[in-house]
Chains A and B, each alone.
Chain A
C-alpha cells in the first residue's frame, strides 16, 4: 500500500525550461513534506521542504507547492539546468510519536537536455 506516489517514473525537459515533478499522498495525517535529489551511487540530498500550514515554499530555482485538499505536491525547477538531471524523491512525514518516520515515493528520473 503505497502512501506516497510518484506516478511519472521519468521526465525529459529542455535546458532553460520549467521542470514540474509531481507527488500524491493518501494519508491526511502527513504534515511535513520533503524533496530529495539523488545522483547514481550517491545518497539522497535534501532539496526543499514544506509544512502543511503553507501552500508554497521557494528556495532559489526550486519551489514546492502543496495542495492539501487534493493531497498533492509538486516541485518546480526554473530554469532547468543539465546538472539537475537526477532522480527526485518526494517524502512525507507525520508529526509526533517517538519516531519521525519518512515515507518515500518511488522517484522520478529527470533528464534535462542541453
Chain B
C-alpha cells in the first residue's frame, strides 16, 4: 500500500450505532488530519495530530472522538451521530512539525450516511 488509505470507503449507520473510521499513512509523516466535506461547502478541518499529540480540535462535537495510537494510524470513533453528519470524511497526512510549506496528502475518503 502506498500513500494514505482509508477504510471503510462507504459506511451507513443508524443514529444509535457506534462505528470507527480508520486511516493509515505509508509516507513516513508525523502529522495526521481529519476533514469533513459536506455538499456545497469547503473542506472543514476537524482534528490535527502532530507526533501523536492532538494540536487542533476545530470545535467538533463530542460524538466524534479521534484517536492516534502512532504516527501512521488515525481513527475517528463515531457514536450517536445525527443525519446532518452525513458527509465525506477525509484523512490527510503531512511531514508535520513547524516547517514551512507543509503539504498535506489525502486519502480517498469515507462516504458516511447516517439514517
Residues of A within 8 A of B (CB): 2, 4, 31-32, 34, 36, 41-46, 49, 51, 89, 93, 95-107
- In the A-B complex, the 4 residue pairs with the closest CB atoms: A43-B106, A100-B102, A104-B43, A104-B42
Interface size class of B (residues with CB under 8 A): 20 to 34
Q: Is the CB of A96 within 8 A of B98?
A: yes
Residues of B within 8 A of A (CB): 4, 6, 31, 40-43, 45, 48, 50, 55-56, 90-92, 94, 96, 98-109, 111
Q: Is the CB of A105 within 8 A of B98?
A: no
Q: Is the CB of B100 within 8 A of A49?
A: no
A-B contacts at CB below 8 angstroms, number: 69
Given the complex of chains A and B, what is the CA–CA distance between A97 and B48 in angstroms? 13
Q: Is the CB of A100 within 8 A of B40?
A: no
Q: Is the CB of B106 within 8 A of A45?
A: yes
Residue of B nearest to A98 (CB): B55
Q: Is the CB of B94 within 8 A of A43?
A: no
Given the complex of chains A and B, what is the CA–CA distance between A29 and B94 in angstroms? 21
Residue of A nearest to B10 (CB): A41
Residues of A close to B43: CB separation below 8 A? 44, 89, 102, 104
Q: Which of A89, A93, A104, A105 contacts B102 (CB 8 A)?
A: A93
Given the complex of chains A and B, what is the CA–CA distance between A36 and B94 in angstroms? 14
Question: Chain A's nearest CB lies how many Å from the CB of B29?
Answer: 12
Which has the most chain A C-beta neighbours within 10 Å: B50, B94, B101? Answer: B101
Which has the most chain B C-beta neighbours within 10 Å: A31, A98, A102? Answer: A102
Given the complex of chains A and B, what is the CA–CA distance between A100 and B55 in angstroms? 10
Question: Chain B's nearest CB lies how many Å from the CB of A21?
Answer: 15
Q: Is the CB of A98 within 8 A of B98?
A: yes
